[in-house]
Structures are given as C-alpha cells and as structure tokens.
Amino acid sequence: MARNPPGHASRGGALANSRRFVLAAVLLGGLVIMGAGVLLALAHRDTPRGAAGTLLASAIGGSFRLVDQNGKTVTDADLKGKWSLVYFGYTHCPDACPTALNDIAIALDQLGPKREAVRSVFITVDPERDTPEVLKAYVTSFDAAILALSGSPEEIARAAKAYRVYYAKHPEPGGDYSMDHSSVIYVMDPEGRFTASFTHQSTPEEIADRLKKLLA
C-alpha cells in the first residue's frame, strides 16, 4: 500500500471502469453472436442456405434435364402437377441415403390416400457409378415408388446447382471414394416452387405432419 503512488486510487478506478466497459462489450458481443446463431439455426430449420450463404428460398429448384431409372428423359416440367420430395444422394452411401428414403417412405405412408399427390425423387450426386440400371435396382429395394434420376456429370452439376446442393468426391485409399453431399429433403409444390425442407434430424412424423398441413 505504502508503495502506491498518490493518485493510484483514481487511476485504479479508471482502470476498473474501462475493464467493466470491456466486460460489458464482450458480454454484449457474445449475446449478439448467440442471437445470430439462434436466428441462423431457426432459419436453417425451414429454409436451407443457398450456395452463396444467403437465404434464397425462391432460388431453390430450377430447370434440369436428367434421365430416370427406365432411361426416360425427365425435366423440371415433368415434376409439376404433383408435390415432390427431392433428395440428392448416391447408392454407395449405406447410411444417410437409405435413412432419408426410409423417412420419406414412412412419412408418405402416414398420408393415406393423399400420398398419391406426392412424388419422391432421388437424384444421384454420383453419376459415374449410379447409372439408370444401378438406380433402378437401388430404388426397387425400397417400398415406395421413387423416381430416381441420373445424367451426365454436367447435367447432375446443373441440377445440384439449381437445388443449391453441395457435393464433392472424397477419395479413399484403394481407389474407392465416398461422396460428401448436402443431406436435405426439399418439398416442392405442384408448380415446382420450393415450399419447405427437412434435414436428417427430421423424423418421419414431422415430415408427415408438415405434408398433411401443406396438402390440406
């Protein structure tokens, strides 16, 4: 105490004040970041983020030209007239993709006669391996009627871009590879407009409830 020069108390006070200010600023900053996080999480629940990191609900969906499991050309115009649940995946994916297709099948089963108004669409992000023949064998092992689409790498890239779907090849030792991909189920209305989306965390019940409201 004795070593403290005169005026220390006031300087200490100023220091304490500035510390308090810094603390308040940090707290406030933290709250802002948390708030932004909550908003972002809420936004994510229903509206997927666009490729540019913006919320572009109206920009999801668009023109594409692909080929189905029977070799028939399918364009975005063919999806109109019915509701569509659109999921991008690949057949070498043994975990997330069957889960999504299964969730869709269970949800559709809960719709009763209204399920006729909904079509499930599986678009591959792995056109190299997922030829129409491979897709046909894949989707027939699921109970639901699924429209499975493939195409040239360029055609798939165009469709994925239209739906703001990210995918990338992840090489593995031994020449094998897996695909990283956005795991989102898009709900498109009969006019081909984006309406809602579900993630891998959505339960079949949540999907069914939402669809029931949309179809009501």
Smaller CB distance to other proteins: residue 64 or 90?
A: 90
> Which range of residues in 10-18, 59-67, 73-81, 96-104 is near other proteins by CB under 8 A?
96-104
CA atoms within 13 A on the CB side of 206: 12
Largest pairwise CA distance in the chain: 92
Residue 80 burial by Cβ neighbours in a 10 Å radius (0-12, 13-18, 19+): middle
> Considering the rule CB under 8 A, would residue 85 count as an interface residue with other proteins?
no
Closest by CA to 17, choosing from 6, 9, 7, 5, is 9
Binding test (CB under 8 A) with other proteins, winner from 91, 124, 150, 195: 91
Site for other proteins in 26-45 (CB under 8 A): 44
Under 8 Å between Cβ of 89 and 97: yes
**Contact with other proteins (CB under 8 A): which of 45, 49, 114, 212?**
49
Part in contact with other proteins (CB under 8 A); list of ranges 31-39, 97-105, 154-162, 207-215: 97-105
Nearer to other proteins, 125 or 188 (CB): 125
Distance, in Å, from the CA atom of 176 to the CA atom of 44, rounded to the nearest integer, reads 32
Nearest CA among 214, 159, 192 for reference residue 84: 192
Closest separation in Å from C-beta 84 to other proteins? 19
Interface with other proteins (CB under 8 A), residue from 102, 110, 212, 214: 102
Positive or negative CA dihedral for 196, 198, 202, 203? positive
Q: Which two tokens stand for residue 107?
A: 């949800």
Distance in angstroms (rounded) separating the CA atoms of residues 66 and 187? 19
Determine which residue in the list 109, 116, 128, 143 makes contact with other proteins, applying CB under 8 A.
143
What character string, x for contact with other proteins (CB under 8 A) and - otherwise, covers 155-194?
A: -----------x---x-x-x-x-x-xxxxx----------
Residues lying near other proteins in the complex (CB under 8 A) = 44, 48-49, 91-96, 98-99, 101-102, 105, 133-134, 137-143, 166, 170, 172, 174, 176, 178, 180-184, 199-200
